[in-house]
Amino acid sequence: MRKRMIAGNWKMNKTYSEAVVLAEELACALADGTKGVDVVVCPPAVDLKGVGAVIDQKAAPVALGAQNVYWEESGAYTGETAPDMLTAVGATYCIIGHSERRGYFGETDEDVNRKAKALMAHGIVPISCCGESLETREAGEHVAFVVNQIKADTEGLEITDPSKYVIAYEPIWAIGTGKTATADDAQEVIGAIRETLREVFGEKAEGIRILYGGSANPGNIAGFLEKQDIDGALVGGASLKAESFVAMIESSAE
Ligand code: PGA
């Protein structure tokens, strides 16, 4: 019932021309479709328009996502991007609450919640990230920590179509480190996230995709997808090359 999703988070990588080349390679490799997998790419903001143009020209089965948004409509917020501005360049998804934004730029659960509401009011699908630090995991508090993040991030959110709200569980210690959580580690937390979503959204929780993220790659993706509550991956490093990203999409086909 939940369609699998592979989302690429390009982070602060790829100049405009590099982003266009990668988008062209993906469009070419996916010309025959994605075998039922929802594919999203999230380039840097200045690359959105160029990547979107390639997707349109080649009718690529790829959706465009941003990596951040601000919740106001417009105004004196230097450096920020409003939801309407994302829509205008073709973005239909947006990552929020990534641990790098929380850690380096002070994004709080309250911010994540406001961003989710603003995006949903504009018809953009949030990919809302959560995840614990190594310290929290070693203290055995990871499940409680992530459950609290989910409660705060979803506070007052109204969901009509559960396919239009996505969560990514990314243990911080596994991001970009080559250290993946085991599929069992991920299912433990993602199962608890699903249970929390049931408390918050009732039966709609069954339709919300929950992705795993943190050194996911072509070699380990299948193991995660065997777990009942894991619906795909948010991919950093392995999304920067068409070959590895496409291999992950292929391994995710049901
Ligand atoms: P990684 O990044 O796959 O390079 O670990 C994932 C993410 O931070 O979204």
pLDDT at 180: 83
Q: What is the mean pLDDT of the chain?
A: 97
Ligand 1 atom with least separation from CA of 238 = 3
Average pLDDT on 196-218 reads 97
pTM here is 0.98
Catalytic residues: 98, 170
pLDDT at 100: 98
Ligand 1: does its nearest atom lie under 6 Å from the Cβ of 214? yes
- Residue 136 φ/ψ, nearest 5 degrees: -65, -40
* Helices and strands (DSSP H and E) totals, the chain: 10, 8
Distance between CA 113 and CA 245 in Å, rounded? Answer: 29
- The SS3 assignment for 150 reads helix
Average pLDDT on 225-252 reads 98
* 1 has a pLDDT exceeding 90: no
Q: For 123-166, how does the pLDDT look when each residue is reduced to its tens digit (9 = 90+)? A: 999 999 999 999 999 999 999 999 999 999 999 999 999 999 99
Tell me what percent of the residues of the chain surpass a pLDDT of 70: 100
Distance between CA 120 and CA 227 in Å, rounded? Answer: 28
* 195 has a pLDDT exceeding 90: yes
pLDDT interval class at 176 (50, 70, 90): confident
| Residue 41 token pair | 């790419």
Q: For 15-63, how does the pLDDT look when each residue is reduced to its tens digit (9 = 90+)? A: 999 999 999 999 999 999 999 999 999 999 999 999 999 999 999 999 9
pLDDT at 89: 98
pLDDT at 136: 96
Inter-residue long-range contacts of 161-164, CB under 8 Å, 24+ positions, other chains counted: 161/207, 162/201, 162/204, 162/205, 162/206, 162/207, 162/208, 163/2, 163/3, 163/207, 163/208, 163/209, 164/120, 164/125
CB neighbours of residue 145 within 10 Å: 17
Mutational test site, ligand 1, from 234, 239, 240, 241, max ligand atoms within 8 Å of CB: 234
Ligand 1: does its nearest atom lie under 6 Å from the Cβ of 216? yes
Ligand 1: does its nearest atom lie under 6 Å from the Cβ of 83? no
Q: For 208-229, how does the pLDDT look when each residue is reduced to its tens digit (9 = 90+)? A: 999 999 999 999 999 999 999 9
Ligand 1: does its nearest atom lie under 6 Å from the Cβ of 213? yes
Closest CA to 191 of 165, 175, 212: 212
